[in-house]
Structure 1
Amino acid sequence: MDQNSPGAVQLNGKAGDCYIFSHALWHGPAPNNSGNGRKTLLYNYCQMFMRCYDFEKVPDTVERATPRQRRLLGDLGYEFRPGSYFYVPEDQSEVIMQSAAK
């Protein structure tokens, strides 16, 4: 830590450790001086109007997905329009809950 991050706390984990925190928490990587690569799995959950930034780059994945998987990837059945932040498809509960019960 340095003078630019007063009060910061460094989390030191072992392989396989998991940290869960709000995305609003200021966070960032520490230098990797080990000489080994660092592998990270990052899962983010957010409001449904916020699509994955690479959504349009994986059309083959979206085409193979179930309706529930498509919805979780950000396919709301329309293209985003400014001002539609709180749009919820009429079948949202049905698509998410019915598919999860199977």
Structure 2
Amino acid sequence: MNNYLENLTSFHYPFITIVIIWLAITIYASKYAKPNSWISKLGMSLGNKVGPKCATKLPIVRKPKNKDQAMFGGWNCKNCGIEIDKYGKEL
């Protein structure tokens, strides 16, 4: 039983380290990265978004139209049809 607990805790250290590094990168990417940089794709965008041209409110639950939207976020506006990134800017 004691050996099992030692193996279990040795598994948790790399996992916790990876989670902490991922959180740090995500927070940095969402707060401080330039919008057009490669690291900004890893960030989070919170809050409601509206279409930049028609001001239509975008849905919270989205259906991605392509693989970039599926991996990095974004919408297609139902009203005017433009592609919008996760920060609410036109692509």
Which structure has more strand as a fraction of its residues? Answer: 2
Same fold (TM over 0.5): no
Normalised by the size of structure 2, how large is the TM-score? 0.28
Q: Which gives a bigger RCO, structure 1 or 2 (Cα 8 Å, sep 6+)? A: 1
Which structure has more helix as a fraction of its residues? Answer: 2
Normalised by the size of structure 1, how large is the TM-score? 0.26
